[in-house]
Amino acid sequence: AQTVTQSQPEMSVQEAETVTLSCTYDTSESNYYLFWYKQPPSRQMILVIRQEAYKQQNATENRFSVNFQKAAKSFSLKISDSQLGDTAMYFCAFSNYNTDKLIFGTGTRLQVFP
Amino acid sequence: EPEVTQTPSHQVTQMGQEVILRCVPISNHLYFYWYRQILGQKVEFLVSFYNNEISEKSEIFDDQFSVERPDGSNFTLKIRSTKLEDSAMYFCASREGATKISDGYTFGSGTRLTVV
């Protein structure tokens, strides 16, 4: 069975600084997708960034980038130039190539301080 | 931007009562999902729904749960006889279907169900 582990329940960062959120996963599959979702307080989860396992290049979306290490089964999220609006719960998620069920980690609560 | 709408945002029900959680997915989406998150725990997959039938369900989704798309716009989750352990945040999500799985879902804001 696939599992997703986020070992940092809470993180904090000062505005304009860089922070990295960790995620590891376990699977025997070779084709899959990885996602980071952001959940601001009392709002819906929104997709931050995604990575397809067969792509070696790390995904980037503006200030958000990932460090995808397939052999190590690691998928960390780096947020550069942190902004107050980045304060949220961040979930790492996994999906097999042939199913669209998402398997989530327990989340990391990120607080950005002024 | 189109949204997935869930109502109510918070529902309190007595143990043993039936509850229906409602979701309005994005209009051109074809795939629908329910997830739940017990306080302090992981977000867990419950069920996926396509073409008016369940396409996949988890072991959590037992006979007490059912889903329906009664009128082509709403997507509902019914819990027939609620238990204390059903207390959780329930998220609805939808996906267009024409796009790849890698494009991800659109989630609603969730319904917090409290069973007392």
pLDDT reported for residue B105: 85
Residues of A in contact with B105 (CB under 8 A): 47, 102
- pLDDT band at A96; cut points 50, 70, 90: confident
Environment class of residue A7 by beta-carbon count within 10 Å: exposed (0-12), middle (13-18) or buried (19+)? exposed
**What's the pLDDT tens digit per position in B57-75?**
999 999 999 999 988 789 9
> CB distance B45–A101 less than 8 Å?
yes
pLDDT given for residue A83 in this prediction: 97
| Chain A: closest CA distance from residue B7 (Å) | 13
Cβ–Cβ of B101/A95 closer than 8 Å? yes
Contacts of B52 (CB under 8 A, 6+ apart): B69
Residues above pLDDT 90, as percent of chain A: 80
Which residues on chain B are in Cβ contact (under 8 Å) with A99? Answer: 56
From chain B, pick out residues whose CB is under 8 angstroms from the CB of A37. 104, 107
Q: What is the pLDDT of residue B32?
A: 94
Q: Which residues of A touch B42 (CB under 8 A)?
A: 104-107
A22-67 per-position pLDDT tens digit: 999 999 988 899 999 999 887 788 899 999 999 889 999 999 999 9
Torsion angle, alpha carbons of B26, A66, A78, A22, to 10 = 90
Predicted local confidence at residue B39, as pLDDT: 86
Q: Which residues contact B70 (CB under 8 A, 6 or more apart)?
A: B76
Among candidates A33, A44, A91 on the partner chain, residue whose Cβ is nearest the Cβ of B110: A44
The reported pLDDT for the residue numbered B99 is 58
Residues B74-108 have pLDDT tens digits of: 999 999 999 999 999 999 999 887 556 656 789 99
CA distance A84 to chain B (A): 21
Cα→Cα distances B10→A21, A23, B5, B81, B90, Å: 30, 31, 13, 18, 10
Q: Rounded mean pLDDT of B38-59? A: 91
